[in-house]
Amino acid sequence: MIALPGVPSLRSSFYRIYPALSMLVLLGLWHIAANATASATLPSPSAVLTVLAGEVRSGNLFHHLGATLSRLAVSFVLAMSLGSALGVLLGRHPHLDRFFDVWVMLFLNVPALVIIILCYVWFGLGEAAAVTAVVVNKLPNVVVTLREGTRALDRNLLEMAESYRFGRIKTLRHVIAPQLFPFFVAAARNGVALIWKIILVVEILGRSDGMGYQLHLFFQLFDVAGILAYTIAFVGVIQLIEWAIFQPLETRAMRWRR
């Protein structure tokens, strides 16, 4: 088939509807399975939508969603800031990297649940302990990603910056930062995916609000429709963040390859 200039081909147009078609198939299968089982443990999409609408009208969804997103934002900023700085530092200084590598590997392999429990035991069931637990769990991943990115820096560009006497700030801004940007975006994208899952556990164990707390409450009531309603709402918000922020950033980070 010959595509005319400026006119999208039939195949490309068909590919664009794949996501919507896939979602419709999923909803259809869900509806069929719910009707076939006729059980409260597998509510239909319409039942879940009814619960979701009720939570929106009451304001409960916005309250708990806002609490979780605020913890996610604070934890994300702290983990990315500290992790990026430490990753660049270890990548630029082999002796420090050699010394602290054991620490990084240790925190990478400590279960998230253990860190959450220890933070609550040491610092109490407060907001600071919750955020600290999330940051400590995410920090090693950011350090490793940025450390590998720093190790992959183009040495010729660094030597050129030194020859032209750029200085530390100018070298960081014009030579190091552009090369590390793809690694930073990768760490950020993975960070959001990991942090929000850890936050749910943190909220289940020691907070009185948030998506995790509400999911735990629905679990105690065996309210599967409520669990699915809050899950769909939160996943939708995370997907919106992915489309609006991380996909444009990834496109920008990979622009130099084109």
| pLDDT beyond 60 at 90 | yes
Task: Look up residue 215 and give its two tokens.
Answer: 């999911």
Residue 119 lies in a domain: yes
Residue 28 lies in a domain: no
Residue 6 lies in a domain: no
| pLDDT beyond 70 at 12 | no
User: How confident is the model over 235-258, as pLDDT tens digits?
Assistant: 888 888 888 887 777 777 666 555
User: Which of 145-149, 158-162, 199-203 is predicted with the least confidence, judged by mean pLDDT?
Assistant: 158-162
Residue 158 lies in a domain: yes
Domain span at 216: 45-257
CATH of the domain at 180: 1.10.3720.10
| pLDDT beyond 60 at 88 | yes
User: How confident is the model over 40-61, as pLDDT tens digits?
Assistant: 788 888 888 999 999 999 989 9
Q: By C-alpha distance, which of 134, 149, 173, 128 is closest to 84?
A: 149
| pLDDT beyond 70 at 115 | yes
pLDDT for residue 258: 52
Residue 1 lies in a domain: no
Residue 4 lies in a domain: no
Residue 248 lies in a domain: yes
> What's the number of domains the chain is made of?
1
Residue 35 lies in a domain: no
pLDDT for residue 7: 47
Counting beta carbons within 10 angstroms of the beta carbon of residue 80, is it exposed (0 to 12), middle (13 to 18) or buried (19 or more)? buried
